[in-house]
Amino acid sequence: MRPATASTSNALTFTSLRLPSLETLAAWLLALIWIFPLLYAFWAAFHPPAFMVTFDLTAPLTLSNIIDAWTQAPFARYYLNTFALVTGVVLAQFVVCTLAGFAFARFPIPGKNLLFMLVLIQLFVFPEVLIVENYRIASELGLIDTLTGVGLPYVASAFGIFLLRQTFKTIPRELEDAARIEGCGWMAILWKVYVPLAKPTYLAYGLVSISHHWNNFLWPLVVTNSVESRPLTVGLGVFSAPETGVNWATVSAATLLSIAPLLVAFLLFQRQFVQSFLRSGIR
Amino acid sequence: MASITLSNVRKSYGTTHVIHGIDLTVHDGEFVVIVGPSGCGKSTLLRLVAGLEEITEGTVEIGGRVVNHLEPKDRDIAMVFQNYALYPHMSVRQNMAYGLKMRKMSKADIEKRVNWAAGVLQLSDLLDRRPGQLSGGQRQRVAMGRAMVRSPAAFLFDEPLSNLDAKLRVQMRLEIKRLQQELRTTSLYVTHDQVEAMTMADRLVVMNAGVAEQVGTPMEIYERPRTVFVAGFIGSPNMNFLPARLRGGMLELGQGLLVECPNAPAGTDGRDVTLGIRPEHLVVAKQGEPADIQFVVHMVEPLGAETLVHGRFNSVETNVALRLHGTPNVWRDAHLPLRLPPDALHLFDPASGVRLTE
């Protein structure tokens, strides 16, 4: 921690001189390093292959790379797959995590805390560790090379259960009592009282989950074999495999195609995205 | 319209007994207040009646029907909670209509009832607001409205005024009482505030440690508290308690200080007792009047309309409070000659705390 404190004191003297502090400089540097690949992808995607490494501002713009990428691989199908996968996973997660979170938050189940600990342990296990076991189960269920097979391992998300349980716990019990007196059963209480009041949590969790599953690569790569089930990430991976010869312009164009929806969503929901990541990190 | 009858109601959580057998009848249209210190089980008792907790033993009847195993919604009751328990994501109108909607009432009827309640409670202009946009008093009224629209057999109130500031509390207290008198709905009201209890109740239940210490009208309880606990809980400032001994129709307080006590019950001569006397019943003897006891002033608290005087009886080591009208000229270390009116003396058994005087 010592360098940080040193830079803080530097920052104080620097700001008095109206110069950017070290933190600001470092933040800019990091941001540039982070965004550089994206900037390069944009450059490569919209310029002819001849300008891949010559950064000439007068270089002509072109859409031919995008068109090439789109025609060379079934991106429309990949889009559909990813879209169906993400929607399905997030919806299934909402259902499962809501029910489990509600049970953990409110029902008097014997051994509830122990069970909840077991669920939380899931957070400490890297999904990659489970690939072989998951593959075995998926194959027993006959789910290899299906979208269900891609999504199923993520449905019972410990993170979602945890997040919703915490939110449900903060909702005053009197609301539940009032609803019971007015004639609600358990499902109605959950649906009319708990779920509407947990809306911000659903938004936060939904954003985190959507971005995660949109970007997920390894498990879909393992479990899918065909165009019919391949999501965008895997499609892109197959597309840019070195054995087919790397054309950076087309690869960049394809990459942009895959991340475009998420990028647009991020720009639209920028604030909610950052907040939700922060919140879910803190909790 | 219905009465509520509790017979030997008990509640335990595992081996912890919270309610130790309560018998109580709330008559049709009556307003009964359960009062007691926090943790005495009064809210639990209300939740047992509401059906939010399961009864361990005994029966609860509402309108002549045993409801022990009925769900809260089937008990035909409405409850008002301390924190109002309004649904934050619904408007005032939706909040009030929700219970009716759950009962599948027609839209027109719901509309009529909500408008009626809103009119009575002066909420008509606020129907489209969310609870978050209302003041505490308004939220309290919405909670009342939600209970009213259902026209239930009984209202249950769980400390509904505790979250309001002092001024609003007095106002809402009157409003709830007025409403109840208009609607004549059987009501069970829980509070820890004895002023609220005294002013609102037709009858009062004083609870302590899971037991109903006394049931009666507020004045009965004030005038003839059955136990030391009730005597100390009802009335402000608290009743003064002094150790004493009965001797030949006299009360001996401390060393040789004797006070006449004509209403001592028979067969108690020579017994140790606890003497209880309310601060407002101690009278300063007028000039020329014989005094029963001398009082040494330690502290004076003028309140305007009345003055609280703290001090001790001569030669007795217990603090005593007096409550005098107006702002009499009393100062620290002054000696006041006091009279103890015989009918203001309450005698209790020192061991059991039970009342000895008639």
d(CA B176, CA B144): 8
A279 in B contact zone (CB under 8 Å)? no
- pLDDT band of residue A3 (cuts 50, 70, 90) is very low
Q: What is the CATH number of the domain that holds A146?
A: 1.10.3720.10
**B161 & B267 share domain:** no
Percent of chain A with pLDDT over 70: 88
| Residues of chain A found within 8 Å of residue B157, distances taken between Cβ atoms | none
Mean pLDDT of B210-223: 94
Structural domain count, chain A: 1
| Average pLDDT taken over every residue of chain B | 90
Question: Is pLDDT at A1 greater than 60 in this prediction?
Answer: no
**B188 & B316 share domain:** no
- Single out the residue in B199, B233, B267 at which a domain terminates: B233
* B72, B87, B103: residue with CB nearest A180: B72
A6 in B contact zone (CB under 8 Å)? no
Q: Confirm whether A130 is domain-assigned.
A: yes
Q: A192, B71: Cβ pair inside 8 Å? A: no
| Region for A18 from its dihedrals, namely left if φ exceeds 0, alpha if ψ lies in -120 to 50, beta otherwise | left
- pLDDT band of residue B309 (cuts 50, 70, 90) is very high
- Single out the residue in B187, B211, B233 at which a domain terminates: B233
Q: Confirm whether A229 is domain-assigned.
A: yes
Q: Confirm whether A273 is domain-assigned.
A: yes
**B111 & B190 share domain:** yes
| Residues of chain A found within 8 Å of residue B77, distances taken between Cβ atoms | 181
**B222 & B306 share domain:** no
Tens digit of each residue's pLDDT (9 = 90 or more) over B96-155: 999 999 888 999 999 999 999 999 888 999 999 999 999 988 999 999 999 999 999 999
- Single out the residue in B171, B203, B233 at which a domain terminates: B233
Q: Which chain B residue shows the shortest CA-CA distance from A176? A: B85
Q: Confirm whether A98 is domain-assigned.
A: yes
Q: Confirm whether B210 is domain-assigned.
A: yes
Q: Confirm whether A239 is domain-assigned.
A: yes
**B292 & B339 share domain:** yes
Residue among A188, A195, A139, A266 nearest B89 (CA): A195
Question: Is pLDDT at A277 greater than 80 in this prediction?
Answer: no
Residue among B111, B106, B187, B104 nearest B144 (CA): B187
Mean pLDDT of B303-318: 88
Q: What is the CATH number of the domain that holds B192?
A: 3.40.50.300
A111 in B contact zone (CB under 8 Å)? no
**B51 & B174 share domain:** yes
**B158 & B260 share domain:** no
Per-residue 3-state assignment (H helix, E strand, C coil) for B105-130: CCHHHHHHHHHHHHHHCCCHHHCCCC
DSSP for B279-308, please give it. Answer: GGG-EEPPTTSPPSEEEEEEEEEE-SSEEE
Q: A184, B102: Cβ pair inside 8 Å? A: yes
**B276 & B322 share domain:** yes
Q: Which chain A residue shows the shortest CA-CA distance from B156? A: A181
Q: If 0-12 CB within 10 Å is exposed, 13-18 middle and 19+ buried, where does residue B154 land? A: buried
Chain B contact probe: residue of A173, A174, A181, A195 with most B CBs at under 10 A: A181
**B255 & B228 share domain:** no
C-alpha dihedral sign at A129, A135, A137, A143 = positive
Domain extent, residue A270, equals 77-282
Mean pLDDT of B173-198: 92
Domain extent, residue B49, equals 4-233
**B149 & B99 share domain:** yes
The confidence score (pLDDT) of residue A242 equals 63
Interface of A with B in 20-59 (CB under 8 A): none
Reported ipTM: the value is 0.81
Structural domain count, chain B: 2
This prediction has a pTM of 0.80
* B47, B52, B103: residue with CB nearest A183: B103
Strand B57-62 to strand B335-339: parallel, antiparallel, or no bridges (unpaired)? unpaired
C-alpha distance from B214 to closest chain A C-alpha (Å):
29
**B137 & B261 share domain:** no
**B277 & B177 share domain:** no
Q: Confirm whether A57 is domain-assigned.
A: no
Q: Which chain B residue shows the shortest CA-CA distance from A184? A: B102
